[in-house]
Amino acid sequence: MAVALGCGGLVGGGGGALTAAGSVQPDGPSTPPVLPSQFPDGSDRYLPAVKVSDIADTWLKKANKWACEDQNESGEHTISGADHTLECTPTDDLKYDVLVRIEHDGEDQVRYVNASCSFKPGSRMCHTLFATLADVLFLNRPELRKEAKVWGDKHADSDETTTIGGIRMSANLSPHELTCVADA
C-alpha cells in the first residue's frame, strides 16, 4: 500500500509540475532596454588623452634623465589589472626616495599613474613631483594643465581628492603619494 501511494504521488506530482512549468509566461520586456550614450564602457577605464610616452619618455627620461623598467617581465601583478607596468626612478641618489609607476594596456591606454615620494611633508621635491605629474597628464589638453599643476602642488601635503577633466587625482600623506585614475 505504501509503494502504491508513493508511486501515485510521484506520477501526480511530476505531472502537475510539468503542467505548471509549461503554462507560466515570464514577466518583463521581450527585448533589452536601449542604453544611454553616456553608459560606461571598457574605454572608460583609461585616463583620457594620456600617453605612456608623454609621461615616461618626454617627462621622466628625456627631461629628467630617469630610467624606466618594465615590471611585468618579473611576473609582478598590476594594481589596476593592466597588461603592462613601468616603474621609473631617478638615476642618481634620489632613486630610493621617489618613484613613478605607470600601468597601461597600450600607448594611449593608461589605467593608473602613481608618484610616491618618501620625503616629509613640506619637501620641495614632493611638491615639484606631484605638480609636474599633474601637469604632464594634461599635456594633450592644455586648457587643463595649469589647474592640474596648481592642484598637485597645493595638495602635495594633504589627503585630498579631486577630478579634473575625467582624471581623479588623490593625494595622500601616508604613504606620501599622488595616485591618478580615470573617473568613470
In this prediction, what percent of the chain has a pLDDT beyond 70? 74
| pLDDT, tens digit, 9 for 90 and up, residues 60-118 | 999 999 999 998 765 567 889 899 999 999 999 999 999 999 999 999 999 999 999 99
Q: How far apart are CA 104 and CA 83, in angstroms?
A: 6
Q: What is the DSSP string of 99-139?
A: EEEEEEEETTEEEEEEEEE-SPTT-HHHHHHHHHHHHHTTT
Residue 37's Cβ-count burial label (10 Å; 0-12, 13-18, 19+) is exposed
Per-domain residue ranges for the chain?
Answer: 43-182
φ, ψ at 98 (rounded to 5°): -135, 150
Over residues 9-27, the mean pLDDT reads: 56
Over residues 144-150, the mean pLDDT reads: 98
Determine the pLDDT at residue 77.
75
- Do 66 and 84 form a contact (C-beta atoms < 8 A)? no
Per-residue b/e over 40-61, b at no fewer than 16 CB within 10 Å? eeeeebbbbbbbbebbbeebbb
**Identity (one letter) of the amino acid at 7?**
C
Q: How far apart are CA 62 and CA 54, in angstroms?
A: 10
Q: What is the DSSP string of 4-29?
A: HHHHHHHHHHHHHHHHHHHHPPPPS-
Computed from CA positions of residues 136, 153, 142, 104, in that sequence, does the dihedral angle turn out positive or negative?
A: positive
The x, y and z cell numbers of residue 88, run together, are: 621609473
**Cβ neighbour number for residue 118 with a 10 Å cutoff:** 15
The segment with the largest mean pLDDT, out of 10-24, 29-43, 144-158, is: 144-158
Does residue 139 register a pLDDT over 60? yes
Over residues 132-144, the mean pLDDT reads: 98
